[in-house]
Structure 1
Amino acid sequence: MKFKLIALDVDGTLLNDQYVLTERTKQTIQEVHDTGCHIVLCTGRAPASTLPILQELGLEGTMITHNGAATVHADERGQTLVNEFAFPLSEIRPMLDYARREGIHFDVCTPFNMYIERIGEYEKQMYKKFLINPKLVTDVTELELPIVKFTLFAQPEVLDRVQLEWEDQKLYGDLRMIRSGDLFIDVMSAKANKGNALKALAASLEIDANEIMAIGNYYNDLEMMAFAGLGIAVANSPEDVKEAADAITASNNEDGVHEAIVKYCL
């Protein structure tokens, strides 16, 4: 089957461990795009840090950001919010109190902005790596804005403990908590995931799930890979992510996206 849409996770999948898009992968994506295939970046990143990668690919179009919580269309006129799964800040107050008490770094995101209450050198380097420029405020709850994502950033052993405690206490309530990377925990609307966002986008484009190929590397990619007709995990994925995939490609450091597109699309 000729795939009409390719959904690509960014960090750990499309980019290598140096956060570089290789020339070979870029050329392959441009080649398959030229055949009429939609390329959709599906990432935990915000639109502002996803757009430069889309532009580096020489493309414009729709980006699924914040792990599916905000879908944004980008073209020469700017960025337009297509869909969002937002919730009030009041719903994360118990988690905010916990993070402040334990000294764990956090940020809160609207579709287009990120807010933090403090920042150190370690966090500055992380945000720089992901092309993020967060806004520093005294108290995020004073913003009184609906948000799409609440994120913790800490060492894996810290987040392992947080994950166990929050699951045990159901501290996230009716929201959804996911581990989006070794160093990140995201809390979002229960409806927000890459699979639901991709499903909505595919319906608007009149593309069937069987005409979609999705490539990812982590637990936040599972719904997207399950929805697609062909869900592919890169070789650097955790074992249970690879077990859930339909196929395995090379790692992100070995141009796994390039390999998969050549094998299944070109």
Structure 2
Amino acid sequence: MKYKLIALDVDGTLLNDQYVLTDKTKQTIQEVHDAGCHIVLCTGRAPASTLPILQELGLEGTMITHNGAATVHADEQGQTLVNEFAFSLQEIQPMLDYVRKDGIHFDVCTPFNMYIERIGEYEKQMYKKFMIDPKLVTDVSELQLPIVKFTLFAKPEVLDRVEQEWEAQKLYGSLRMIRSGDLFIDVMNAKANKGNALKALATTLEVEANEVMAIGNYYNDLEMMAFAGLGVAVANSPEGVKQAADAITASNNEDGVHEAIAKYCS
């Protein structure tokens, strides 16, 4: 088999718009795994909401979570942190002040936990959709914990404005700000991305870059697609992601992951 490691984004790529993993895609992934190919989920999700998908695939192993900020190994014994790119809450204080003033919903994540200061029905539905149970605290700044991801959740037009203003003011300092979805902005350690995490995992597994295939759908997938020997974009990706890809497969609603694996790993 040409590709020994397949990296899969989850939302908008592996799962369809109803957040369902189809039987066709599941069977194809299980077949290449049984043939000796490593399967790694590379996602913006936390480990707790990634593990059920790994289990639904009938697999165990390494998950790249929080957009590369935390790599976690999962097996029958539980979950173990392999690597993290963390930063302090003090580094995001100017951004915390901004979102609190504007009433923009946010959460902060350690590798295994998520913390919020308030929640409404709109946010509850989002967390339920992603199988997340955040912890409600009075002030996240009092946690005194290193964190791996600071996420904003709001309507696209709100986040468009935030991106422009934070970029102009460099409000994120030495950290990295990415748009991980139409409704999400993530701020992370500058070294944290799916590409760096995937490269580290491939090195551990003694897999060369040209033996890696990565499939994604959004801008937070670009680094892992660039690292991989074959970077594939699903058809529902934004135009900029498609242009950066080596190949384009069917959309997430048309079993694009199945199509790509069947085409390139047969």
Aligned ranges for residues 116-155 of structure 1 at < 5 Å?
116-155=116-155
5+ residue gaps in structure 1? Answer: none
Match of 1:254 in 2: 254
Could you say what secondary structure the match of 2:82 adopts?
Answer: strand
User: Aligned equivalents of 1:166 and 1:211: distance in 2?
Assistant: 38
Shift of 1:30: 0.2
Shift of 1:38: 0.3
Superposed CA offset, 1:15-34 (max 9, x none): 00000000000000000000
Match of 2:181 in 1: 181
Amino acid at match of 2:51: L
Aligned ranges for residues 1-40 of structure 1 at < 5 Å?
2-40=2-40
Superposed CA offset, 1:190-237 (max 9, x none): 000000000000011110000000000000000000000000000000
Superposed CA offset, 1:75-119 (max 9, x none): 000000000000011000000000000000000000000000000
Q: Which runs of 4+ in 1 moved over 6 A?
A: none
Match of 2:213 in 1: 213
User: Aligned equivalents of 2:243 and 2:110: distance in 1?
Assistant: 33
1:82 and 2:117 matched = no
Could you say what secondary structure the match of 2:185 adopts?
Answer: strand
1:229 and 2:215 matched = no
Superposed CA offset, 1:150-209 (max 9, x none): 000000000000000000000000000000000000000000000000000001111000
Match of 1:73 in 2: 73
Aligned ranges for residues 35-114 of structure 1 at < 5 Å?
35-114=35-114
Could you say what secondary structure the match of 1:7 adopts?
Answer: strand
TM-score for both structures, normalised by structure 1: 1.00
Superposed CA offset, 1:4-51 (max 9, x none): 000000000000000000000000000000000000000000000000
TM-score for both structures, normalised by structure 2: 1.00
Amino acid at match of 2:241: V
Match of 2:161 in 1: 161
Amino acid at match of 2:81: L
User: Aligned equivalents of 1:47 and 1:164: distance in 2?
Assistant: 30
5+ residue gaps in structure 2? Answer: none
User: Aligned equivalents of 1:188 and 1:264: distance in 2?
Assistant: 33
Shift of 1:2: 1.2
Could you say what secondary structure the match of 2:18 adopts?
Answer: coil
Aligned residues: 266
Could you say what secondary structure the match of 1:97 adopts?
Answer: helix
User: Aligned equivalents of 2:32 and 2:262: distance in 1?
Assistant: 9
